[in-house]
Chains A and B, each alone.
Chain A
Amino acid sequence: EIVLTQSPGTLSLSPGERATLSCRASQSVSSSYLAWYQQKPGQAPRLLIYGASSRATGIPDRFSGSGSGTDFTLTISRLEPEDFAVFYCQQYGGSPRTFGQGTKVEIK
């Protein structure tokens, strides 16, 4: 099983700042099969990024993904008030599929 470790656990930032979230895999994720999701309180997760760097339909371009192998990053270039939430990475290159434990981006 591929274990995904996200860091930091919590990121305290102000609107307008840049957020950089990390997702590290215990073994290489084949073909960059790595996705990112955003989850707000009381809501289902929403797909942001798939294939490590492809934005899902309707996702603003302030969200970007990068990385390969075992190290992946989600960047939010300028935080908007609606961006504060918990973010999860998920790998789909191995079975079982696994999620990271999440990074909470909170308002400073």
Chain B
Amino acid sequence: EVQLVQSGAEVKKPGESLKISCKGSGYNFTNYWIGWVRQMPGKGLEWMGIIYPGDSDTRYNPSFQGQVTISADKSISTAYLQWSSLKASDTAMYYCARSVGGYYDYWGQGTLVTVSS
């Protein structure tokens, strides 16, 4: 069974750093792109970027380029999304999802990130 399991909810202060994770199982993790999607409170879905764990090829939405870093460790079937300096506007639910030719067939359960002083 394909599963993407994300790390737990985080509460951080502005300016702090954060790295959240997404662990895949039930399939060959290195052979599928993993994407990250943001959902701000009460809002829609926003595509942030994508990584191919096999060679760490990464593509970013220009709106998020420079704001976050996407990475992966294929040895432990895990993708990451990280921030070096969080802002209150980063408060959102973040989903990872497996990409098949560009659409997303399996999703993680989401990681809620709250940034507040």
Q: A interface vs B, CB < 8 Å? A: 33, 35, 37, 39, 44-47, 50, 56-57, 88, 90, 92-93, 95-102
Contacts and interface: CB of A to CB of B under 8 A. Distances in A.
A35 B104 contact: yes
Q: 6 closest pairs, A vs B, by CB?
A: A92-B102, A35-B103, A44-B107, A96-B61, A99-B45, A97-B47
Contacts of B41: none
Contacts of A97: 35, 47, 50, 61, 102
Q: Does more than half of chain A's interface fall in helix, strand or loop, or is it mixed?
A: loop
B54 interface: no
A96 B110 contact: no
Contacts of B109: 44
Q: Does more than half of chain B's interface fall in helix, strand or loop, or is it mixed?
A: strand
A72 B107 CA distance: 23
A44 B98 CA distance: 13
A98 B102 CA distance: 11
Given A95-B59, A99-B44, 18 more contacts: A33-B101, A33-B102, A33-B103, A35-B103, A45-B95, A45-B107, A47-B105, A50-B100, A88-B45, A90-B45, A92-B101, A92-B103, A93-B102, A96-B61, A97-B35, A97-B61, A99-B37, A101-B44
Contact of B44 (A57, A93, A100): A100
A99 B46 contact: yes
B26 interface: no
8 contacts: A37-B104, A44-B108, A45-B104, A93-B102, A95-B59, A96-B63, A99-B46, A102-B45
Nearest to A45: B107
A46 B103 CA distance: 11
A50 B44 contact: no
Interface string B44-66: 11110010000000011111000
B30 to A, nearest CB: 21
Choose among A37, A39, A46, A92 the residue with the greatest number of B CB atoms under 10 Å from its CB: A92
